[in-house]
Amino acid sequence: KLVDNSSFIKSFKQISTSGAVQAPPTIRVIDMGCGRGYLTFSLHSYLCNNFLMPENEQKANCKPGLTVQTQGIDRRPKLIKEINGITDDLGGEFSSLRFIEGDIGNTGNTLFGDDSDSDSIAKSTLDILIALHACDTATDDSIWFAIQNDADIIVTAPCCHHQLRQQIDRHFTKNPDHPLADILCHAIYRERSTETTTDAMRALLLEIAGYNTQVFEFIGGEHTAKNVMITATKMEAKLADDNERLIKKRKRLIELANFYGVKQQKLAMLMGENLGWDNSVKLGIVN
């Protein structure tokens, strides 16, 4: 966990020093499925130390009066009570760090609240959603929560890719002459292809939602097999709304889904995106 958290923070640091983070008066962070809060504490401390203005000091990224508010969300009430007690004991910079009980992607009373449509709020806050190893479709729920609340930055490291596996298995059983048949006849390659396809679809969906997206390895495989990170930062509105760009991205999404036999994907469903199976006959695919 220590290595995972350190690598996660290093990856976030790259985003924050790339120009994607322009510190407004308030930085707000939500950690979906925070567990014991190791990453929540770490990122909160990093932001406080790198963006808050200490007395009688000046730092490149810091602005006077800036605040950092962080919220961890987990479904276990006893755990929430315990780690809130820790933040109370620590005080200082951790006084603006709190934990609340809730389910991933379906929690009320969050920091983001219902103010994502307010221009005044949008101009005065930088909203960040993080999720480390949210299992299977919980990652999709986290991403959708961020999209709905117009988060500026999304950083997630997915874990477990069960939803697509059975679909891919069935597809290659029914299509023995598929171009990848000699690769995906092996279970280990189907497993790896499931992970790759799931996260590639998530990246495409984030781009459709108006985010610049990157997928990369954030930690060595010797520490965890779940070492892929997806980062997303809001595009300029003009680019995000470009119709030609959206048409191309949706076409690529449909082609990818059809190639691997994916009929259902949680984030696509939440976003109302068509995976194109009504056009499958044109592509010569057996349903």
* Rounded CA separation 276/262 (Å): 10
| Half-sphere exposure in the Cβ direction for 205 (13 Å, CA) | 28
Pairing of strands 228-234, 67-74: unpaired
Cβ pair 184, 194 in contact under 8 A: no
Q: What is the pLDDT of residues 114-142, one digit of tens each?
A: 554 445 444 578 899 999 888 889 999 99
The parts of the chain modelled with pLDDT lower than 50 are 55-56, 60, 116-118, 120-122, 279-287
Which pLDDT belongs to residue 212?
A: 94
